[in-house]
Amino acid sequence: MDEDELLTLFHSPQFDPNVYASSVFGVRKASEVLRLVNEKIRSLDTSIYQHVASHHKELLKKAKDIDQLHDLLQTTESKITNLSQSLTKLKHKVAAPYTSLHTQIEQFRRLQRSCDLLRKISRAALLTKRIQSRLTDLAKSSAYVNELEQLFSSVDWEGIHTLESYKRSVEQSREDMISQSWNLIDTSHELAGQVQLGLGL
C-alpha cells in the first residue's frame, strides 16, 4: 500500500481505526503502515513549511487582520454592554414613575368607591329618618322606601353594619305602611269616606 492509498483509506467516512489496527496486526503489516504514516507526516510538515515560507506576508497580514477584527469585536461587545446597561437604567427610570402612577390611580379609584359608598350611606340615613318621621304620610313614605330599595340594589350592603341596620328598618317600615294601608281601606269601607279610600289605594 503506497501513501496515496493510505490517505484515501484514512479519508474514507467508513474508516474505523480499531478495525484497521486489528487487520494490520493480524497480517503483520504494522511496521510498514507506521513507516508510511511517518513518511506522510514528514511530507505534510514539509508542505506546511513551504506554504508558510512562500505565503508568509499574506499569512502575517491575515493574522494582523484577525487581531484587528478581534479588537473591533471587543469594542463592539463593550458598546453593546454599555447600551444594555443604559437600557436597564432607562427601564428603571420609566418603571418607577409608572409603578407610582399605577399605585396612585388605584388609590384614587378606591377613594372614589369609598366616597360613593359614603354618599349612599348618608342618603340611606336621611331617607330612613324621613320615613320614621312621616309614617302617617303614606305617599311620601312610599316614595322614600322605593328610593331606598333602588339604593340598596346598587350597592353591596351586606357586611356593612350601618346599611344592614337601615335595610332592616326599611323592611319594617314597608310592613308598617302595608298594615296602615289595609287599615285605611277597612276604615274607608266602614265610613264610606272616598278621601280615605283614595289615600289607602
pLDDT averaged over 10-residue windows placed end to end, the chain, 201 residues: 65 76 65 76 84 81 84 89 87 81 89 88 87 74 85 82 83 81 71 52 52
Long-range contacts of 193-198 (CB under 8 A, 24+ apart): none
Residue 6 has a pLDDT of 66
Give SS3 for 55: coil
- DSSP string of 134-155, one letter each residue: -TT-HHHHHHHHHHHHHHHHTS
Alpha-carbon gap, residue 163 to 121, rounded angstroms: 7
Residue 197 has a pLDDT of 46
